[in-house]
Amino acid sequence: MADNSSNNAYWAANVRIIKISLVIWALVSFGFGILLRPMLSGIAVGGTDLGFWFAQQGSILVFLALIFFYAWRMNKLDAEHGVGEE
C-alpha cells in the first residue's frame, strides 16, 4: 500500500510541474505575445516593443528555459522517490 501512495505522490508532483510549466508557456507565448501586446507596446526592448519581442524571441527563450527547468526538477523528483537514473 505504501508503494502505491509513493507512486501517486510521484505522479501528482510530476503532473503539477507539467501544469505549472504549461501555464507559464501559455501566458508568455499567447498572453504576452498576442493578447497583452498592445499594453506592452510602450516598453522598448532591443529597439522594438516588448510585445513584439515576446512574440518573436521571448516565448522561444522562455520555452527553452522551461525545458531545462523541467529536466532539472524531474531529476530531483526522481532522486527523491528513488527512481533516478544511476
Domain limits, the chain: 17-80
Q: What integer pLDDT is reported at residue 18 of this predicted model?
A: 96
Write the DSSP assignment of 29-47 as a string of letters. Answer: IIIIIIITHHHHTTSEETT
User: Cα 36 to chain center, whole Å?
Assistant: 19
The answer to whether residue 78 scores a pLDDT higher than 70 is yes
More confident residue, 83 or 86: 83
Q: What is the pLDDT of residues 17-59, one digit of tens each?
A: 999 999 999 999 888 888 888 888 888 888 888 888 888 888 8
Contact, 62 vs 28, CB < 8 A? Answer: yes
β-strands 48-49, 44-45 pairing: antiparallel
| CA–CA distances in Å: residue 54 to residues 13, 32, 48, 69 | 29, 6, 10, 19
Residue 49's H or E segment, with its range, is strand 48-49
DSSP designation for 48: E
